[in-house]
Structure 1
Amino acid sequence: MKHGGDLGSALARFGGLASEWMDLSTGINPHAYPLPDTLPAEAWTRLPAQDALTRLIAAARAAYAVPGDLDLVAAPGTQAILAHLPHVMPDGGVAVVGPTYGSHAEIWRRAGRVVHDLTSPYADLPDDVRLLVIVNPNNPDGRLVDAQSLRHHAEQLAARGGWLIVDEAFADCVPGASVLPHLNGLPVIVLRSFGKFFGLAGLRLGFAVAPRALAERLTVALESWAVPGPALEIGARALEDTAWQDAMRARLADEAADLTLMLQMQGLSVFGGTPLFVLAGTRDAAALHRALARQHVWTRVFDYAPTWLRIGLPDGQAGRARLEAALAAAIAEP
């Protein structure tokens, strides 16, 4: 599964202006963290400062409850971290638990690794696997793997000289989902995305949490000034703002519940998701996807699951009302 958010194909096929579309193809919070009216001039005019990076790392450590024996690495988005992993992780086969975000398998295949596609996080690992990738909560179905099972995998991989890679891109809005409090020296690298929960995907900011030696290799691979000055400043402010985070988690949970109820009342079955998106089932998801697109509402479909439709969280009550009307019209099409 590739990422959403690119309206180019929708505009080319169904017309209209980008401003006329409601893009529900992503898992990005529609209620973005409020940007400051001004930033220090040096955030724009100087190279990123070490003290600004130190502040950002401290804020991320507190926000993500990172154990003291682990280090954090900041990067211009977790996608940038993924691209470097084949060069800093040990050789050997890779297993990816899917279906999930497609880049996880792609980056390893491009690096010449043997990639095994697992359909369950509880499956036995093939003998050649030294790296296991689990997205938790998973995208697109929101599946959660418990900490005990993740620890079990990490212990297995440790015996092989391997590593567990846990992508927690959507963990910010699911309290208790993170494996970080349960690592205790195990060979695990955890990826955290800033842009999804804070609604600032264009800022391009993400983190890797790992034991020191691996974090140092990743830092060297990213080289100097990986995160720009404005991202350092805004990222630190947002991560330090725990009151906003707590209020937003509650808001997202309420709105996701309202979205689920509305979709069910429209005849769709909702069987997965997170507070930032839902995964719904319908007989012909591609047909419904096209009917919604004709009304300039953009959703996600999956070639491997013709009954699945992923719908991002609309922007408040007005956005939900627009989606409801679009769904009713789409379902009523002959």
Structure 2
Amino acid sequence: MSRFTWHGGGLEAARARFGDSRGEGDAWIDLSTGINPAAWPVPADLEIDWQRLPSLAALAALEAAAAKHFGVDPAFVCAVPGTEVGLRLAGTLLPEPARYLTPCYRTHGELFGTATPIARADWRGEGEGTTILANPNNPDGDIVPRERLMAAVAQGSPTNWLVVDEAFADPDPSVSIAALVSDERPLAIFRSFGKFFGLAGVRLGFVIGPRPLVDRFRARLGAWPVSAAAIAIGTAAYRDRRWIAQAREQLHNRALALDVLLRRAGYKPRGECPLFRLIEVADGHALFERLAERHILTRPFDEQPRWLRLGLPDSDADYDRLAQALAYG
């Protein structure tokens, strides 16, 4: 199970283990990730200069478009080649001792040489060094109230850094505390492009933080932190306000439909993030296997063998196949 519990998106490994599809009605449905299945449609005529290194002006335009989307000053925004890279760089730039709130995204526990896990329910915002948490959380979709995070920022000292991974915040902008970032606060926010826009392969993310921290990220990343394709796609997507508004509504409706499906199958869906749901069953690994045998890939967990996370199906037909598979599960 290690490949499937390590990270979502292991479709190649699933095909090798459970077989490839034999026809349209047997095609694999990948629900193992929390990625929007209805991706932003990249225009066929989008101009990408493959022959030259990205210009500083183009990078600045991307960061300005993203900053407007986040509701922050562009001076606080730095593009990174995916939030995974950005988070791991943060582990080399921010002070220890470090704490990470659990349950959590696996990378959070790997950022520092030593870090202390703290249950989300037990965290009170105290402690010197660095605290990292996800909001909304992965994998359970829990959301820490904005007021609680604001209080933690307010009581923090200059040596008490708070890092909030907002990779799943785009569907509901009210969750974000990015607007609190300033040069006077030890607060850093990470945002992902690929999840909400459904284009994980672009490998684009952002650090939002005080300008001295942003400068340190830029120094580590070098002159060309992201590709010309990432710049062109990201800039155009963040400027597409109509698509963003429609996507938020559609994700909400898709998540409600998944809730109904899961409840009808006898499961209690957990989570407030519309990109995925978590269910607790007698044996999550066994249900994973039964669904995979029907070519439906989900996300099991080593540390929580009763959990199974499901992303959003892409179509009515996929919802029907999932409902039928769960009826036999």
Q: Do the structures match in fold with TM over 0.5?
A: yes
User: By how many angstroms is 1:107 displaced?
Assistant: 2.4
Give the aligned partner of residue 45 of structure 2. Answer: 38
Alignment of 1:89-104 (within 5 A): 89-90=94-95, 92-104=96-108
Greater shift after overlay, 196-205 or 275-284? 275-284
User: By how many angstroms is 1:80 displaced?
Assistant: 1.1
Greater shift after overlay, 254-263 or 49-58? 49-58
1:108-161 per-residue CA deviation (whole Å, 9 max, x = no partner) reads 1xxx2x21111125524675x4100010000111111122322333344425x1
CA distance in 2, matches of 1:232, 1:17: 35
User: By how many angstroms is 1:85 displaced?
Assistant: 1.1
Query: Is the 1:3–1:101 Cα contact (8 Å) retained in structure 2?
Result: no
CA distance in 2, matches of 1:95, 1:126: 10
Q: Is 1:174 matched with 2:166? A: no
Greater shift after overlay, 138-147 or 27-36? 138-147
- TM-score norm. by structure 1 comes to 0.91
User: By how many angstroms is 1:307 displaced?
Assistant: 2.0
* Structure 2 unpaired stretches of 5+: none
Alignment of 1:203-222 (within 5 A): 203-222=202-221
Percent of aligned positions that are identical: 40
Query: Is the 2:97–2:130 Cα contact (8 Å) retained in structure 1?
Result: yes
* Structure 1 unpaired stretches of 5+: none
Give the aligned partner of residue 31 of structure 2. Answer: 24
CA distance in 2, matches of 1:166, 1:240: 24
Alignment of 1:51-200 (within 5 A): 51-67=57-73, 71-90=76-95, 92-108=96-112, 112=113, 114-120=114-120, 122-124=122-124, 129-158=128-157, 161-183=159-181, 185-200=184-199
Give the aligned partner of residue 14 of structure 1. Answer: 18
SS, match of residue 309 in structure 1: strand
User: By how many angstroms is 1:183 displaced?
Assistant: 4.2
Greater shift after overlay, 175-184 or 191-200? 175-184
RMSD: 1.9
Query: Is the 2:53–2:224 Cα contact (8 Å) retained in structure 1?
Result: yes
1:196-230 per-residue CA deviation (whole Å, 9 max, x = no partner) reads 00000000100000010000000111111111001
Q: Is 1:241 matched with 2:240? A: yes
CA distance in 1, matches of 2:279, 2:63: 37
1:294-314 per-residue CA deviation (whole Å, 9 max, x = no partner) reads 011010111222221100001
Give the aligned partner of residue 302 of structure 1. Answer: 301
Query: Is the 2:104–2:139 Cα contact (8 Å) retained in structure 1?
Result: yes
CA distance in 1, matches of 2:111, 2:12: 24
The amino acid that maps onto 2:286 is A
CA distance in 1, matches of 2:69, 2:253: 22
1:247-272 per-residue CA deviation (whole Å, 9 max, x = no partner) reads 11001101100111011101111122
SS, match of residue 306 in structure 2: strand
CA distance in 2, matches of 1:308, 1:274: 16
CA distance in 2, matches of 1:202, 1:306: 29
The amino acid that maps onto 1:29 is N
Query: Is the 1:147–1:182 Cα contact (8 Å) retained in structure 2?
Result: no
CA distance in 1, matches of 2:285, 2:309: 11
The amino acid that maps onto 2:54 is P
Query: Is the 2:194–2:201 Cα contact (8 Å) retained in structure 1?
Result: yes
- 1:303/1:14 CA distance change after superposition, 3 Å: same
Query: Is the 1:279–1:309 Cα contact (8 Å) retained in structure 2?
Result: yes
Query: Is the 2:143–2:272 Cα contact (8 Å) retained in structure 1?
Result: no
Give the aligned partner of residue 48 of structure 1. Answer: 54
Greater shift after overlay, 197-206 or 13-22? 13-22
